[in-house]
């Protein structure tokens, strides 16, 4: 079982409009509602790839109930979310059909009380005992300690469970110091962590700070990986037009599934880039266009250098 942790779950709403204009009224052509938060998106992609997956984190209020009801419609996912008194947040993506751009609005999330955090830690320890890998994903809701991910990384390492960390800011800085097996920052998150805007230098620096391996997401330019086995660059054949929301989460699912399946790094990166690009073509985060994914698998360019044994 693969475990995904989403401390700041969400109910994702995607609106499509012909053209998004400031200070104007818009007619919405389509509305899509899905359970969300980075780890939930990762879990749905893992499920589509055939991996048994458990989702944990927090859920509360009417939006939390709606999210859990929809999670229950996915047979391959196990809901192990911890109930809280506050209401699960909503995220709103507005897709401009004319330009292909997306505008994102993210609510902050519910206040997590100390007793609720303690209940989550108990649940997490229980779930680690049967996990083959764990992904720690996304922002921290109010009330959760800023060093939360560092503690969760240490718990996974103590249990002998490979751990992937995908967050940003101070939680990422502290989490890296706890030595996760893999981190997947985007270019901005990597620059904030290291102070460098040069991708290779920044990725190598992130490894020196404690991560066993670092895969940097470079947007439409693909992925850059620096690992003990070597370094690689994986690039899609062309830029995809569509909604990029959740593309990074699909890349995480590709990397995590490849880790569990013990694939070589070039194959993990190929899968991750193909999934990420195919997600841009899907209507909502946590989904990917399977035809695009399968077509791209043979067209991803992977170049690299293997480290000496």
Between 29-43, 52-66, 76-90, 281-295, the lowest mean confidence (pLDDT) is in 281-295
Give 283's pLDDT tier (boundaries 50, 70, 90).
low
* Cβ contact 110:132 at 8 Å: no
Quote the pLDDT of residue 131. 97
Cα gap 242→101, rounded to integer Å: 7
- Set 47, 181, 249, 289: catalytic member: 249
Quote the pLDDT of residue 221. 87
Q: What is the mean pLDDT of residues 242-252?
A: 84
Give 298's pLDDT tier (boundaries 50, 70, 90).
confident
Span 40-49, pLDDT tens digits:
999 999 999 9
Cβ atoms within 10 Å of 188's Cβ, excluding its own: 12
- 30 by Cβ neighbours in 10 Å (0-12 / 13-18 / 19+) ranks as exposed
Span 186-236, pLDDT tens digits:
999 999 999 999 999 999 999 999 999 999 999 888 999 999 999 999 998
Cα gap 297→46, rounded to integer Å: 17
Quote the pLDDT of residue 144. 97
pTM for the model stands at: 0.91
Closest of 116, 106, 117, 161 to residue 139, by C-alpha: 106
pLDDT exceeds 50 at position 309: no
Q: What is the mean pLDDT of residues 9-18?
A: 91
pLDDT exceeds 70 at position 286: no
Query: Which 3 state secondary structure label does DSSP give 251?
Result: helix
Quote the pLDDT of residue 285. 60
Percent of the chain with pLDDT over 90: 71
Active-site residue flag, 249 = yes
């Amino acid at each position: 079982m693969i475990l995904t942790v989403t401390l700041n779950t969400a109910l994702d709403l995607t609106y499509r409009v012909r053209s998004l204009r400031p200070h104007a009224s818009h007619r919405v052509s389509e509305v899509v509602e899905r359970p969300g938060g980075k780890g939930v998106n990762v879990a749905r992609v893992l499920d589509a790839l055939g991996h048994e997956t458990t989702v944990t984190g927090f859920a509360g209020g009417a939006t939390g109930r709606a999210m859990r009801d929809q999670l229950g419609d996915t047979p391959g996912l196990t809901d192990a979310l911890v109930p809280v008194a506050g209401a699960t947040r909503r995220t709103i993506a507005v897709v401009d059909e004319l330009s292909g751009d997306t505008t994102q609005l993210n609510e902050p999330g519910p206040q997590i009380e100390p007793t609720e955090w303690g209940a989550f830690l108990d649940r997490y320890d229980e779930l680690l005992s049967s996990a083959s890998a764990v992904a720690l994903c996304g922002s921290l809701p109010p009330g959760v300690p800023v060093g939360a991910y560092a503690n969760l990384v240490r718990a996974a390492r103590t249990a002998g469970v490979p751990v992937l960390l995908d967050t940003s800011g101070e939680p990422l800085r502290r989490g890296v110091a706890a030595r996760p097996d893999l981190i997947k920052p985007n270019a901005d998150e990597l620059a904030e962590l290291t102070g460098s805007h040069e991708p290779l230098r920044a990725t190598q620096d992130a490894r020196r700070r404690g991560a066993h391996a670092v895969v940097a997401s470079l947007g439409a330019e693909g992925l850059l990986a620096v690992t003990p086995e070597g370094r690689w660059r994986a690039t899609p054949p062309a830029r995809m037009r569509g909604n990029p929301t959740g593309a990074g989460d699909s890349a995480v699912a590709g990397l995590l599934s490849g880790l569990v399946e013990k694939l070589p790094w070039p194959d993990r990166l190929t899968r991750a880039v193909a999934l990420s690009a195919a997600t841009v073509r899907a209507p909502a985060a946590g989904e990917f266009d399977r035809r695009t994914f399968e077509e791209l698998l043979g067209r991803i360019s992977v170049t690299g250098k293997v480290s000496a044994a």
